[in-house]
């Protein structure tokens, strides 16, 4: 503003109010009048335009409001079904219509402002039903309880029942289809007296009056409508399912065997009851039946046309072109007595399966013009049948003699998949086309009941959970984007969208479900798992590598085995602990039988099905996933135990190639960047953090000064995140201010520095023997100071749910729970004997764990701040229980990493059991200076006082990789009189393989693997405790009772 007079008027009349409670601010506003450009003011130096500034202000206000505990649970609006208003209106209109003295069959309702009332009839009384568009469907005549594939209702009233099954989908379906609207119009079929619910209102209308069905098709909803004196309420699932304890060990994550199929595997299916029988289809048209425990190929059927004369001329012409015919789908019937095979040209083969190694021809069907894309068994009218779909845009239903029962038309593109299902006695089929259209069909000739678009508008497959209560779909768009979602059946709307797909997929992602609890999908040569109730990726495994770029996968019925396809024309069988036990007896026998020379072993191994070793797979647990701890037996993870292995030629020859520890000795073997202006031999780096956004690194020096480095988004670094490929900027405000802690009168040699960063990266709190200072991360200004010594603060941690609450560990062994907003210590926790050296919150368990220089761990309730338990860290014999003890929670919020100069240890904090321990040894024998979990808790990075850095597997604490000091130190530093080594390590919040180290010479370095490797080493294979021919850094396991336990 250039009008000084106007500015003065605003200052005096409108802004004077600020002088009453913040005179300093008012003076600063006044000084703006003296400036030629208000951006000369430091705080306004980065001001852009008014619109942008207001947007930023509103974002910051929103963050402040959401972070305020007074608003907690008050800003979250309830989730309403999209058709909830329609439901309430229909309920009201039905009620009004039932009270009509002269109800008409097709009432004319024009307004909601007055109650509805039918005019006197001109003819005989007809059955009364409010004929509302789209949502209204007549009440079914009966709902018989059924098992899987129950009978199709034979009566006319059953048609209404079937329509009702899809009412929710149709109520929200695209209005573009006039056929759907006609189908859903209310039926005027009279409803039997016992089917009308008795409402809890005193003015109950006559029991024989019809009532419109208005909403959900959930099982519970249907059942409630049959019972008298029940109010209609919306229920998400039919029954309350008991949540059994679960863990990652439930998932098949260990490679139990590898099968060489000899051709690309295109489809797999486990037998529904004999759960080690696996049916496999290949791209050369072959089908194979494997008994995977005995490693036996029971049946192999090459592609062959059974009766060419019975095939259509179109098929005969296509075969004459000599293009290959592949298997597109293999599947078992529900009872396992039949096998269905679909091919990429016209045909379906149905086999009878009478016994272990016998597949008998049943019928060959020339089913579709072009490819048959999917095949499934269904059971309408108590008759087992086959549902198929194809390139000819049709869905067809066949009986087991090959007679066509139904022919469904309506898709405008080739049909990609079919999913037959039933709800109560309602049998229906979902179908998806390659254009992403989803349609639903009843076993009639009326047409499609639903017309929806799948996410991504691409090839999509739909599956129900094992209990039939939940519907999922997974597909990939033409652009390669993949989508995994759960559907709300009653509304036809997406309920959840699962995250975790990272790359553009080269093909359509395949998926499966198991245990009514887990989802699995194959992408990027990995298998990814989700908990059905959590959209965040739970874990991913690479199955020791070698998987297809887009692996196909299939669980067995119990979910203890998982078949996945490999890139070398084979497949791997993954197993959990239960699944592995099925292999164990055979493996022991095989081990005894294969003690013969190599030549003998080679003669016994079939080249068509080479079985490789049983090795544990490393699970990559994603951040924020609610994983519970693995069940530990005597401190040992069952899936990680050494097992007797079936040895083949490859096994014997591999003995000459022992596993080698990955050792990084030179900077060219990794990527490394040193922070500019960081080296300061007078001030070693004592604390180090990444910003939560992953764009910066913050270091606290022993002199109390904090430094910040930031990466910017540019062509070299399009993500703008921290990377070792680009040198960041040493960031400072225009004022040149430093973030300097209060060190007046402090002996810096004895001070214990501490630091904590707010979740939004806006504020950093730190101390270095003096008062705790709260800094603004933009201006570096001190916002406030508190907790002056004595005693001095030694550790700081923000409450995970409230940035205003801070846990402060003190020099006098107490812990203060401090509320910044009201400047008050709310609680003072006493339980340690020496200064506090570590604090970690677990929101899952609602606890705070503290560690101290007394080598004690204390567990506190964050509700009452009472101490629950105290245990002593198990110090190795001959070592003193002195020095700092640090603690950090695993991403499951249950396992706890405990770091002491003498050890790395893992505890189960739900019981405070000591699970595993690693002590310095061999190449890493120096004391540990620092350690931390990677962001996904897959790795542990540890630094040592001799300059070495170790990368450990987080579950087993086995060493994967050693990084020598020669990688990041100059020759002068290596040979200097003063040892230079990392004092602290920090991990990138998003990249699980990147870490930063702060050194005794004041420098800060970021290190990550070279792009061609992408990770730090590999897990050593375990064979009876020996790491394939060499002794490796081992860890010990224990379930001993701690020396000291207090309650």
Are 165 and 427 a contacting pair, CB within 8 Å? Answer: no
Are 149 and 379 a contacting pair, CB within 8 Å? Answer: yes
Are 217 and 164 a contacting pair, CB within 8 Å? Answer: yes
Q: What is each CA distance from 438 to 2, 220, 295, 433, 776, in whole angstroms?
A: 62, 25, 40, 7, 52
Q: Given 3-state DSSP classes, what are the helix, strand and coil percentages for the chain, each rounded to the nearest 5?
A: 15, 35, 50
Structure tokens at 530: 């989700």
User: Which 8-state DSSP code applies to residue 193?
Assistant: G
The Cα 452–Cα 1002 span in angstroms is: 61
- DSSP state letters, 85-122: HHHHHHHHHHHHHHT-SS--SS-----SSS---PPPPS
The Cα 939–Cα 618 span in angstroms is: 10
* pLDDT confidence of residue 615: 38
List Cβ neighbours of 376 (8 Å cut-off, separation of 6 or more).
331, 340, 386, 387, 418, 419, 420
Question: What is the layout of strands, in order, in the sheet containing 450-453?
Answer: 415-423, 426-433, 437-442, 450-453
List Cβ neighbours of 262 (8 Å cut-off, separation of 6 or more).
282, 569, 570, 608
List the one residue out of 498, 499, 500, 476 whose CA is nearest residue 487: 498
Q: Which residues of 313-330 are buried (b: 16+ CB within 10 A; e: fewer)?
A: eebeebbeeeeebbbbbb
C-beta neighbour count of 1030 within 10 angstroms: 11
Q: What is each CA distance from 627 to 484, 890, 893, in whole angstroms?
A: 20, 10, 8
The Cα 398–Cα 414 span in angstroms is: 19
Residue found under tokens 């949540």: 243
* pLDDT confidence of residue 15: 84
| Three-state SS sequence of 606-651 | CCCCCCCCCECCCCEECCCCCCCCCCCECCECHHHCCCCCCCCHHH
Structure tokens at 340: 């269905």
| Residues of the chain scoring pLDDT < 70 | 1-2, 72-73, 104-108, 120-245, 320-322, 584-659, 1020-1047
The distance in angstroms from the start CA to the end CA of the chain is 67
The Cα 530–Cα 543 span in angstroms is: 17
Are 781 and 775 a contacting pair, CB within 8 Å? Answer: yes
The Cα 173–Cα 137 span in angstroms is: 14
User: Which residues on adjacent β-strands are paired with residue 908?
Assistant: 895, 913
C-beta neighbour count of 671 within 10 angstroms: 17
In 711-844 the beta strands, taken as DSSP E runs, fall at 729-731, 739-740, 754-757, 763-767, 772-776, 782-786, 793-799, 802-810, 814-819, 824-830, 836-842
The Cα 62–Cα 183 span in angstroms is: 47
Q: Report the run of H or E that residue 1004 belongs to, with start and end.
A: strand 1004-1009
Are 453 and 436 a contacting pair, CB within 8 Å? Answer: yes
Count of CA atoms in the C-beta half-sphere (13 A) of 255:
28
List the one residue out of 712, 706, 718, 799 whose CA is nearest residue 753: 706
Burial bucket for residue 297 (CB in 10 Å: 0-12, 13-18, 19+) = middle
Q: What is each CA distance from 858 to 815, 826, 869, 899, 1028, in whole angstroms?
A: 11, 19, 6, 15, 40
The Cα 282–Cα 579 span in angstroms is: 25
List the one residue out of 598, 635, 599, 640 whose CA is nearest residue 617: 640
| Three-state SS sequence of 551-600 | CCEEECCCCCEEEEEECCCEEEEEECHHHHHHHHHHHHHHHHHCCCCHHH
The Cα 629–Cα 619 span in angstroms is: 13
Using left for φ > 0, alpha for ψ between -120 and 50, and beta otherwise, residue 194 falls in alpha
Q: How far is CA 488 from the centre of its chain?
A: 19
Are 1045 and 871 a contacting pair, CB within 8 Å? Answer: yes
* pLDDT confidence of residue 593: 42
Are 111 and 387 a contacting pair, CB within 8 Å? Answer: no
List Cβ neighbours of 113 (8 Å cut-off, separation of 6 or more).
none
Helix, strand or coil, per DSSP, at residue 937: coil
The Cα 720–Cα 530 span in angstroms is: 29
List the one residue out of 487, 466, 467 whose CA is nearest residue 475: 487
Structure tokens at 590: 């095989």
The Cα 171–Cα 449 span in angstroms is: 10
User: Which residues on adjacent β-strands are paired with residue 808?
Assistant: 796, 816
Helix, strand or coil, per DSSP, at residue 899: strand
Are 680 and 674 a contacting pair, CB within 8 Å? Answer: no
The Cα 805–Cα 69 span in angstroms is: 10
User: Which 8-state DSSP code applies to residue 204?
Assistant: P
Are 879 and 848 a contacting pair, CB within 8 Å? Answer: no
C-beta neighbour count of 958 within 10 angstroms: 20
Q: How far is CA 986 from the centre of its chain?
A: 24
In 424-558 the beta strands, taken as DSSP E runs, fall at 426-433, 437-442, 450-453, 459-464, 471-476, 482-488, 493-498, 511-514, 518-523, 526-531, 537-541, 553-555
The Cα 779–Cα 136 span in angstroms is: 62
Structure tokens at 770: 């003096």
Are 100 and 118 a contacting pair, CB within 8 Å? Answer: yes
The Cα 398–Cα 405 span in angstroms is: 5
- DSSP state letters, 285-341: S-EEEEETTTTEEEEEE----S-GGGS-HHHHHHHHTT----EEEEEE-TTSSEEEE
Let me know how long the chain is.
1047
């Amino acid at each position: 503003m250039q009008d000084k007079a106007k500015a003065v008027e605003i200052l005096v009349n409108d802004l004077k109010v600020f002088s009453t409670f913040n005179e300093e601010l008012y003076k600063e506003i006044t000084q703006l009048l003296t400036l030629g450009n208000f951006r000369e003011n430091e705080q306004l130096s980065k001001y852009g335009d008014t619109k942008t500034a207001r947007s930023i202000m509103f974002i910051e206000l929103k963050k402040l409001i959401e972070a305020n505990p007074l608003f907690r649970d008050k800003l979250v609006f309830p989730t309403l079904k999209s058709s909830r208003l329609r439901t309430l209106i229909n309920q009201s209109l039905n009620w009004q219509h039932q009270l009509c003295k002269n109800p008409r069959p097709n009432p004319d309702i024009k307004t909601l402002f007055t109650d509805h009332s039918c005019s006197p009839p001109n003819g005989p009384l007809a059955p009364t039903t409010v004929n509302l568009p789209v949502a209204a469907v007549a009440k079914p005549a009966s709902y018989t309880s059924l098992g899987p594939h129950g009978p199709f209702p034979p009566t006319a009233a059953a048609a209404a029942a079937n329509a009702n099954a899809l009412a929710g989908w149709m109520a929200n379906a695209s209005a573009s289809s006039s056929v759907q609207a006609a189908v859903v119009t209310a039926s005027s079929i009279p409803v039997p007296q016992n089917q009308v619910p008795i409402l809890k209102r005193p003015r109950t209308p006559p029991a024989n009056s019809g009532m419109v069905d208005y909403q959900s098709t959930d099982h519970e909803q249907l059942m409630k409508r049959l019972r008298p004196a029940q109010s209609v309420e919306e229920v998400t699932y039919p029954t309350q399912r008991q949540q059994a304890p679960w863990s990652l060990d439930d998932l098949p994550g260990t490679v139990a065997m590898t099968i060489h199929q000899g051709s690309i595997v295109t489809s797999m299916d486990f037998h529904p009851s004999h759960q080690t029988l696996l049916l496999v289809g290949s791209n050369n048209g072959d089908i194979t039946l494997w008994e995977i425990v005995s490693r036996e190929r029971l049946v192999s059927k090459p592609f062959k046309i059974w009766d060419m004369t019975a095939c259509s001329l179109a098929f005969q012409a296509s075969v004459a072109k000599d293009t290959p015919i592949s298997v597109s789908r293999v599947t078992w019937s529900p009872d396992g007595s039949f096998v269905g095979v679909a091919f990429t040209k016209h045909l379906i083969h149905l086999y009878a399966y009478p016994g272990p190694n016998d597949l008998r021809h049943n019928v060959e069907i020339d089913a579709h013009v072009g490819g048959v894309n999917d095949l499934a068994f269904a059971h309408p009218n108590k008759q087992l049948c086959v549902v198929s779909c194809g390139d000819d845009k049709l869905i067809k239903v066949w009986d087991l003699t090959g007679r066509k029962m139904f022919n469904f038309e309506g898709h405008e593109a080739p049909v990609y998949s079919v999913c037959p299902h039933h709800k109560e006695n309602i049998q229906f089929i979902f179908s998806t086309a390659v254009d992403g259209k989803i349609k639903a069909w009843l076993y009639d000739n009326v047409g499609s009941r639903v017309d929806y678009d799948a996410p991504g508008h691409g090839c999509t497959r739909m599956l129900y959970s094992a209990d039939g209560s939940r519907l999922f779909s997974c597909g990939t768009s033409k652009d390669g984007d993949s989508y995994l979602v759960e559907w709300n059946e009653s509304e036809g709307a997406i309920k959840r969208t699962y995250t975790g797909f990272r790359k553009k997929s080269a093909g359509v992602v395949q998926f499966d479900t198991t245990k009514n609890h887990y989802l699995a999908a194959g992408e990027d040569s990995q298998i990814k798992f989700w908990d059905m109730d959590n959209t965040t990726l739970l874990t991913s495994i690479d199955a020791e590598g070698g998987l297809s770029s887009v692996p196909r996968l299939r669980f067995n019925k119990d979910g203890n085995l998982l078949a996945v396809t490999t890139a070398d024309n084979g497949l791997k069988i993954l197993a959990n602990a239960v699944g592995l036990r099925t292999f164990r007896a055979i493996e022991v026998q095989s081990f005894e039988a294969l003690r013969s020379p190599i030549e003998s072993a080679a003669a016994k191994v079939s080249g068509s099905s080479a079985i490789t070793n049983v090795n544990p797979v490393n699970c990559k647990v994603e951040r924020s996933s609610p994983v519970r701890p693995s069940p530990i037996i005597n401190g040992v993870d069952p899936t990680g135990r050494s097992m007797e292995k079936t040895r083949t030629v490859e096994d014997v020859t591999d003995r000459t190639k022992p596993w080698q520890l990955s050792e990084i000795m030179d900077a060219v073997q990794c990527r490394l960047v040193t922070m500019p202006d960081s080296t300061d031999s007078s001030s070693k780096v004592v604390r180090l953090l990444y910003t939560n956004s992953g764009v910066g690194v913050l270091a606290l020096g022993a002199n109390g000064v904090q430094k910040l480095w930031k990466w910017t988004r540019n062509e070299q670094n399009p993500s703008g995140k921290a990377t070792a490929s680009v040198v960041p900027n040493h960031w400072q405000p225009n004022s040149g201010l430093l973030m300097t802690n209060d060190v007046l009168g402090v002996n810096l040699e004895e001070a214990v520095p501490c630091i904590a960063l707010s979740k939004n990266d806006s504020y950093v709190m730190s101390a270095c023997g003096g008062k705790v200072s709260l800094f603004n991360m933009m201006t570096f200004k001190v916002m406030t100071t508190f907790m002056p010594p004595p005693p001095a603060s030694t550790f700081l941690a923000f409450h995970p749910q409230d940035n205003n609450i801070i846990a402060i560990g003190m020099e006098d062994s107490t812990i203060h729970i401090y509320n910044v907003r009201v400047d008050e210590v709310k609680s003072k926790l006493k339980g340690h004997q020496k200064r506090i050296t570590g604090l970690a919150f677990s929101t899952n368990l609602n606890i705070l764990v503290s560690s101290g220089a007394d080598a004690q761990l204390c567990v506190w309730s964050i509700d009452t701040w009472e101490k629950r338990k105290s245990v002593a860290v198990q110090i190795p014999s001959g070592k003193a229980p002195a020095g700092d003890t640090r603690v950090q929670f695993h991403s499951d919020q249950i396992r706890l990493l405990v770091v002491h100069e003498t050890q790395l240890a893992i505890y189960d904090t739900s019981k405070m059991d000591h699970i595993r321990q690693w002590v310095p040894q061999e190449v890493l024998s120096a004391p540990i200076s620092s350690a931390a979990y990677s962001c996904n808790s897959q790795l542990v990075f540890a630094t040592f006082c001799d300059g070495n850095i170790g990368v450990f597997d987080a579950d087993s604490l086995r060493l994967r990789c050693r990084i020598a000091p020669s990688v990041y130190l100059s020759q002068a530093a290596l040979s200097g009189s003063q040892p230079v080594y990392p004092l602290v390590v920090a991990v990138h919040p998003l990249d699980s393989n990147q870490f930063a180290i702060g050194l005794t010479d004041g420098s800060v370095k970021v290190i990550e693997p070279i792009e061609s490797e992408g990770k730090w080493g590999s897990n050593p294979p375990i064979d009876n405790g020996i790491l394939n021919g060499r002794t490796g850094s081992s860890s010990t396991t224990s379930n001993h009772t701690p020396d000291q336990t207090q309650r």
